[in-house]
Amino acid sequence: MEEKRILAIDYGAKRIGIAITDPLNIFAYPLTTLQNDKNFLENLLKILKEYNVVKIIVGVPLKESGENSSTSLIVEKFVDELKKRIDLPIVLIDERYSSEIAKQRIIETVVSKKKRRDKSLIDKNAAAVILEDYLKTIS
């Protein structure tokens, strides 16, 4: 039986955090941070294939009020582009606090202050927070 996984994306103008579930879709793991450049889609497609991804979760940063923010509109445009190129279900979920939660986790778990300053660490951990939130809704 082929393992099917769920992938989450924390979209950013410079970097895009990627997290993936374990083969049983119980846990979320920070996987990598990709540069948001012309190679992004190609790199993402490799990951989708390598991990046999069946669904993509994308975090949308809403305002405190729950309304769209300027960033959430950019994310929605990004998702529209993804849908044209990737034939997988894409689910949008509110990710208002994912980066803050990710920063807190890094402070608690990463001893080296130099490593904590690595922004890509926050991006992939924020993607893991988004994925965990999604997994809670389906379990």
Q: Which pLDDT score, from 0 to 100, does residue 111 have?
A: 74
pLDDT one-digit tens code per residue, 104-126: 887 888 777 777 677 778 899 99
- pLDDT winner (highest mean) among 32-46, 54-68, 90-104: 32-46
- Under DSSP, the state recorded for 69 is -
Residue 137 has pLDDT above 80, yes or no: yes
Q: Which pLDDT score, from 0 to 100, does residue 63 have?
A: 81
Residue 2 has pLDDT above 80, yes or no: no
Q: How does residue 14 score in pLDDT terms, banded at 50, 70 and 90?
A: very high
pLDDT one-digit tens code per residue, 38-63: 999 999 999 999 999 999 999 998 88
Superfamily of the domain at 5-138: YqgF/RNase H-like domain (3.30.420.140)
Which alpha helices (H) appear in the chain, and where do they start and end?
A: 40-50, 70-85, 98-109, 113-116, 119-138
Domain boundaries, the chain: 5-138
134: buried, middle or exposed (CB in 10 Å: 19+, 13-18, 0-12)?
Answer: buried
